[in-house]
């Protein structure tokens, strides 16, 4: 473990299939450092601040799905990426992957971790789900993990996805049973997306995963 910018970090190696993904993460959920109140001005509280830098089970599930996902000819976006474990897997596989998040610390962690695992940096842009104008071009596949953790995120997330989704697009979201996925799927239906969900096989986790994989297609 080490000290950086008045918060503590640790280094982990995560096995995703036959891949070893090396990550710098926050030491725990008690870490906090908001120089010049940058995060606060973005509406990120001290309680929310460390969420980006913790490895969550839903992120591992998404990364394992991306290990065998068909990537040929697809432009992929990981939204609310946090530590971007799934993006690391896709990057190692040579996918056309871009990551996005709102947290001001994500960019530096992503650059460090992507170069720790590959010589190829992962393109990144910072964006709010409130944005009304897209920053980059649209995507064929949009992925995310545990991005429906509040009821208010249903409308925000669906509008953000529509902003960046191609006319033909697949959405893959890992939802750890927070209870908001039905409302989200109904909202996405208004944008022309059909939906289904599956229980993932997660024998690589130390305990059973209670959530589902949401698949949406248009």
What pLDDT was estimated at residue 156?
A: 94
pLDDT at 2 over 70: no
- Rounded to an integer, what is the distance from CA 213 to the centroid of its chain? 14
Closest CA to 171 of 153, 156, 157: 157
Closest CA to 97 of 75, 120, 69, 64: 75
> Could you tell me the pLDDT band of residue 1, with boundaries at 50, 70 and 90?
low
Q: Is 49 helix (H, G, I), strand (E, B) or coil?
A: helix
> Could you tell me the pLDDT band of residue 39, with boundaries at 50, 70 and 90?
confident
E-strand ranges in 45-152 read 75-78, 96-101, 124-126, 139-145
Q: Where are the alpha helices (DSSP H) in 34-118?
A: 38-41, 57-66, 85-92, 106-117
Q: What is the mean pLDDT of residues 175-196?
A: 95
Q: What is the mean pLDDT of residues 177-189?
A: 93
pTM of structure: 0.95
> What DSSP element (H or E) covers 147?
none
Contact 171, 188 (CB under 8 A): yes
Q: What is the pLDDT of residues 107-118, one digit of tens each?
A: 999 999 999 999
What pLDDT was estimated at residue 119?
A: 84
Q: What is the pLDDT of residues 139-167, one digit of tens each?
A: 999 999 999 988 888 999 999 999 999 99
Q: What is the pLDDT of residues 50-86, one digit of tens each?
A: 999 999 999 999 999 999 999 999 999 999 999 999 9
Would you tell me how many other CB atoms lie within 10 Å of the CB of residue 8? 15
Higher pLDDT, 119 or 90: 90
Tokens (6 digits) for 118: 């590959």
Q: Which residues of 91-104 are buried (b: 16+ CB within 10 A; e: fewer)?
A: bbeebbbbbbbbbb
């Amino acid at each position: 473990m080490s000290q950086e910018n008045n918060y503590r970090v640790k280094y982990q190696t995560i096995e995703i299939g036959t891949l070893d993904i090396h990550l710098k993460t926050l030491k725990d959920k008690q870490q906090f450092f908001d120089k010049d109140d940058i995060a606060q001005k973005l509406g990120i509280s001290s309680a929310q601040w460390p969420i980006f830098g913790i490895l969550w089970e839903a992120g591992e599930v998404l990364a394992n799905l991306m290990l065998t996902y068909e990537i040929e000819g697809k432009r992929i976006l990981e939204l609310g990426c946090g530590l971007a474990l799934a993006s690391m897997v896709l990057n190692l596989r040579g996918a056309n992957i871009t990551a996005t998040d709102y947290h001001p610390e994500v960019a530096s962690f992503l650059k460090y971790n992507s170069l720790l695992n590959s010589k190829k940096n992962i393109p990144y842009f910072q964006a709010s789900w409130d944005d009304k104008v897209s920053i980059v071009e649209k995507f064929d596949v949009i992925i995310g993990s545990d991005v429906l953790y509040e009821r208010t995120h249903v409308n925000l997330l669906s509008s953000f996805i529509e902003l960046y989704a191609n006319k033909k697009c697949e959405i893959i979201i890992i939802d750890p049973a927070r209870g908001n996925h039905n409302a989200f799927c109904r909202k996405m239906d208004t944008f022309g997306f059909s939906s289904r969900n599956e229980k993932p096989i997660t024998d690589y986790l130390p305990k059973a995963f209670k959530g589902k994989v949401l698949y949406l297609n248009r």
